[in-house]
Amino acid sequence: MMELPQESTLLRIFFGEEDETEDGKLLYEAIVNKAREMQMAGATVLRGPLGFGHSSVLHTAKILRLSQDLPIVVEIVDAPEKIEQFIPEVMKMTQSCLITTEKVQVIHYGSNGSSEQSGN
């Protein structure tokens, strides 16, 4: 079972749902697949019903709107050094995104009823 250090890093990547890589793959799928390939601890894709970015254009999930291009956030929590290795891989896929990191404390990381606490 993969372990996370208690002092980890949260990586957040913000972009539009319709954003693609140069070879036409959906960006959020490409990022998650790359994270899995690099054996990151996990990745979650969040889809926002409303948001705006550097262009100040509102992106919304309202029914009457034809082109939604909703906000997407990919979150990955892992050891700081693994996050630092992953960021250049994201930058190879796109330049039109916002990338942030922050220190987090992992309280629990497990599945299937596992009660193991994260080690140092």
- 16-32: pLDDT as tens digits: 999 999 999 999 999 99
Residue 14 CA to residue 53 CA, distance in Å, equals: 9
**Under 8 Å CB-to-CB from 18, ≥6 apart: which residues?**
69
Q: Given a cut of 70, is residue 64 above it in pLDDT? A: no
Domain definitions of the chain by residue range: 7-105
Q: What is the CATH number of domain 7-105?
A: 3.30.70.120
Mean pLDDT of all residues belonging to the chain:
88
